[in-house]
Amino acid sequence: MRTQIGIIGAGPAGLFLSHLLHRIGIDCVVLENRSRHDIENTIRAGVLEHWLIDLMNEMGLGERMMREGRPDTGITMQFLGQRHHLDFEELTGKKITVYAQHEVLKDLVAARLAQGGPLLFSVSNVAIADVETDKPRITFNDAEGAPQVLDCDFIVGCDGFHGPSRQAIPQSARQELDMHYPWGWLGILAEAPRSWHELVYSNHERGFALLSTRSPMTQRIYLQCDPHDSLDAWSDDRIWAEMQERFAFPGWELFEGKIFQKSIVGLRSFVCQTMQHGRLFIAGDAAHIVPPTGAKGLNLSVADVVMLSRGLDDWYKKGSKDRLDSYTETCLTRIWKYERFSWYMTTLFHRNDAETAFERRIHLADLDYVCSSKAAATALAEIYVGLPIG
Nearest to 165 by CA among 298, 36, 334, 31: 31
Taking CA atoms, 247 is separated from 218, 255, 265, 372, in Å, by: 18, 11, 21, 21
- HEC sequence for 43-68: CCCCEECHHHHHHHHHCCCCHHHHHH
The answer on 260 and 299 residing in a single domain is: no
What pLDDT score was predicted for residue 42? 82
The answer on 119 and 222 residing in a single domain is: no
What pLDDT score was predicted for residue 345? 97
What pLDDT score was predicted for residue 117? 87
User: Is 105 part of any domain?
Assistant: yes
The answer on 225 and 288 residing in a single domain is: no
What pLDDT score was predicted for residue 172? 95
Last residue of one domain, picked from the residues 233, 268, 303:
268
The answer on 144 and 28 residing in a single domain is: yes
User: Is 278 part of any domain?
Assistant: yes
What pLDDT score was predicted for residue 45? 76
Range of the domain at 185: 178-268
The answer on 245 and 126 residing in a single domain is: no
User: Is 140 part of any domain?
Assistant: yes
Last residue of one domain, picked from the residues 230, 251, 268:
268
Q: How many domains does one find in the chain?
A: 2
What pLDDT score was predicted for residue 214? 77
What pLDDT score was predicted for residue 141? 98
Contacts 24+ apart (CB under 8 A), 131-136: 131/155, 131/168, 131/277, 131/278, 131/279, 131/280, 132/277, 132/278, 132/279, 133/278, 133/279, 134/279, 136/6, 136/278, 136/279, 136/280
The answer on 145 and 41 residing in a single domain is: yes
Last residue of one domain, picked from the residues 226, 241, 268:
268
What pLDDT score was predicted for residue 20? 98
The answer on 195 and 129 residing in a single domain is: no
The answer on 15 and 134 residing in a single domain is: yes
What pLDDT score was predicted for residue 17? 98
Tally Cβ neighbours within 10 Å of residue 67. 7
User: Is 377 part of any domain?
Assistant: no
What pLDDT score was predicted for residue 144? 96
What pLDDT score was predicted for residue 222? 96
Q: Find the CATH number of the domain harbouring 258.
A: 3.30.9.10
User: Is 161 part of any domain?
Assistant: yes
The answer on 32 and 112 residing in a single domain is: yes
What pLDDT score was predicted for residue 231? 96
**What b/e readout covers 347-375, taking b as 16+ CB neighbours within 10 angstroms?**
bbbbbeeeeeeeeeeebeebbbebbeeee
Q: Find the CATH number of the domain harbouring 42.
A: 3.50.50.60
pLDDT tens per residue, the chain (390 residues)?
999 999 999 999 999 999 999 999 999 999 999 999 999 988 777 899 999 999 999 999 999 999 999 999 999 999 999 999 999 999 999 999 999 899 999 999 999 999 998 999 999 999 999 999 999 999 999 999 999 999 999 999 999 999 999 999 999 999 999 999 999 999 999 999 999 999 999 999 999 999 998 778 889 999 999 999 999 999 999 999 999 999 999 999 999 999 999 999 999 999 999 999 999 999 999 999 999 999 999 999 999 999 999 999 999 999 999 999 999 999 999 999 999 999 999 999 999 999 999 999 999 999 999 999 999 999 999 999 999 997
User: Is 387 part of any domain?
Assistant: no
The answer on 150 and 208 residing in a single domain is: no
User: Is 63 part of any domain?
Assistant: no
User: Is 53 part of any domain?
Assistant: no
What's this model's pTM, rounded to 2 decimal places?
0.95
Return all residues near 374 (Cβ < 8 A) that are at least 6 apart.
Answer: 91
The answer on 249 and 117 residing in a single domain is: no
The answer on 218 and 142 residing in a single domain is: no
